[in-house]
Chains A and B, each alone.
Chain A
Amino acid sequence: NAGVTQTPKFRILKIGQSMTLQCTQDMNHNYMYWYRQDPGMGLKLIYYSVGAGITDKGEVPNGYNVSRSTTEDFPLRLELAAPSQTSVYFCASSYQHNEKLFFGSGTQLSVL
């Protein structure tokens, strides 16, 4: 049972480049989330989804986009990378909303 799988693990982007962080889960969870974690700070919610076809903004959505075409996949898109988006990104999923989240192993992103 793989759980939540995120790719890539590391990435360096130049300012203005775009990229997609991939996230897939095999637990048939309806709820999926994208968080970012800055050094010494708590996790902040970027976007979340309550099911296929439904997404909503979290606390810090600016500069990001998401889609949820299937239950399993929840990619996060950065269109025009900025240095402020340097962070560690975590994808997570849960059976019930905001209860016992299962996290992926994270993506360390640097924008230079």
Chain B
Amino acid sequence: EDKVVQSPLSLVVHEGDTVTLNCSYEVTNFRSLLWYKQEKKAPTFLFMLTSSGIEKKSGRLSSILDKKELFSILNITATQTGDSAVYLCAVDNNAGNMLTFGGGTRLMVKP
């Protein structure tokens, strides 16, 4: 059975801190790993990663994949209160036709 585990479950930081969120996975026929940000309701897409070692970057957010050790990290530098959200990781199993989501990491950024 495919499995995606995110850590930590929750995190409280202050504005300006840097955070690292982790996503480890066990899937057969890995195709891609995706990160989403979920604020109040709808998840919004952040990154899709398919190759090891290639960093994807968008402003203060960046992510990288390690296909040998089966994990990805999402980094947020100089955090702002607007970064407060649940961050979801999902893995696409080429054979299963569905994404397997982790339980999410709840990030709270205090002023």
B42 contacts the other chain (CB 8 A): yes
A24 to B32, CA, bound (A): 26
- Taking the closest CB of chain B, its distance from the CB of A22, in whole angstroms, is 16
A58 to B101, CA, bound (A): 13
Selected contact of A98 from candidates B41, B99, B102, B104, CB within 8 Å: B99
A97 contacts the other chain (CB 8 A): yes
Interface of A is mostly: loop
Selected contact of B43 from candidates A98, A99, A103, CB within 8 Å: A103
Determine if A99 and B32 form an interchain contact, defined as CB atoms under 8 angstroms apart: yes
Determine if A42 and B45 form an interchain contact, defined as CB atoms under 8 angstroms apart: no
Q: Which residues of A contact B (CB under 8 A)?
A: 4, 40-45, 48, 56, 58-59, 90, 97-106
A sample of 10 cross-chain residue pairs with beta-carbon separation below 8 angstroms, ordered by A number, consists of A42-B100, A45-B98, A58-B98, A90-B42, A98-B97, A98-B98, A103-B44, A104-B42, A105-B42, A106-B41
